[in-house]
A and B are shown apart, each in its own frame.
Chain A
Amino acid sequence: TVGAVAVDRAGNVACATSTGGIRNKMVGRVGDSPVIGCGGYADNLSGAVSCTGHGESILKVTLARLILSHIEQGKSVAEASQLALQYMGDRVKGAGGAIVVSPSGQWSATFTTERMAWAAVEDGVLWYGLEPNE
């Protein structure tokens, strides 16, 4: 799965996610990626999220919306992502990752799997990582 989130100079946010699914999956099996509120969600009032990971687990906790609800309650984008991924791990033993951007330009790349390739550009500076806590 791949994804992107952005906030533009006007303060509008957007998200996008795309995937080929998992190898050898049942015909017709759909994971979280195309499901609104799970594989992605965007709202100028709270932020934009794109998720990746174990599809069925992300669906069960509606991970993208869960992250934004934590942000709406005042958490930072990093805290909100960590809380939501922790909840998914505890409740349905699923692992995954999420990238988040807020309308004010806060951003995070958080994951509970072994690795997640990510990159961010802010004010022309490029950030990127692969390992946990990088």
Chain B
Amino acid sequence: MSAVLVVHGGAWAIPNDLAQASVEGVKAAACGGFAVLKAGGSALDAVEAAVMGLEDNGVFNAGHGAALNTDGEVELDSIIMDGRTLGCGAVSSVKNIAHPVSLARAVMEKTSHVMLTDRGANLFAESIGVATVPTEALVTELERTEWKKNKTYMAGVVEDFNAQAHD
């Protein structure tokens, strides 16, 4: 049985100045995740490793490249699921967490729940010793610039997603 790993870096109107870095980023994450499979690791370990790699890359809208909400905060969402057991863990609107996918896995493995949200997700992170990081560590200069521009010139949430916005 051959092992396979596939990753994505988001589907939107990726601008040309991010195109190369996006492709390089997904290639690196795919190779990182596949290395886990090659070493005999599980599919669950491999997807966590691959997504952690993408969360560490400020090019992508997750982890260290997160978008800012209307209050200038970072609210992060993540899910992980094990096809063998249908085990699933998710966090939503969690703040100041570098690897939400690992926190989602902890929800799956350390609680009987599927999702923890907002303050509850942060309290759970604290209870299992997951370190927090300052919001600044999760936001790139580019994102802050774009957010300010967005705030100044476009009221509300940009909805013409298919052309301009990203998810």
Contacts and interface: CB of A to CB of B under 8 A. Distances in A.
Given A22-B67, A36-B90, A4 B6 contact: yes
Given A20-B61, A115-B14, A117-B22, A107 B161 contact: no
Contact of A52 (B2, B40, B165, B167): B167
A54 B100 CA distance: 20
Contacts of B71: 27
B120 interface: no
A95 B11 contact: yes
Contact of A130 (B14, B60, B101): B14
Interface size classification for chain B: 35 or more
B68 A24 contact: yes
Contacts of A2: 7-10, 29, 51, 54-55, 60-62
A5 B47 contact: yes
Contact of A116 (B11, B65, B147, B163): B11
A115 B4 contact: no
Given A20-B74, A54-B167, A6 B66 contact: no
A126 B66 CA distance: 27
Contact of A14 (B11, B54, B80, B100): B80
Contacts of B84: 12-14, 44
A62 interface: no
Interface size classification for chain A: 35 or more
Contacts, number: 341
A95 B34 CA distance: 29
Contacts of A118: 6-9, 26
Contacts of B2: 9, 105, 122-123
Contacts of B117: 30
Given A17-B51, A20-B66, A27-B69, A116 B30 contact: no
17 contacts: A1-B10, A2-B7, A8-B46, A12-B42, A18-B104, A19-B76, A20-B76, A21-B67, A22-B165, A23-B158, A24-B154, A28-B75, A36-B81, A50-B8, A97-B8, A99-B6, A117-B25
Interface of B: 1-14, 19, 22-23, 25-27, 29-31, 33-34, 37-38, 40-44, 46-48, 50-51, 54-55, 60-63, 65-71, 73-84, 86, 88, 90-93, 100-101, 104, 114-115, 117-118, 138, 143, 146-147, 150-151, 154, 156-158, 161-163, 165-167
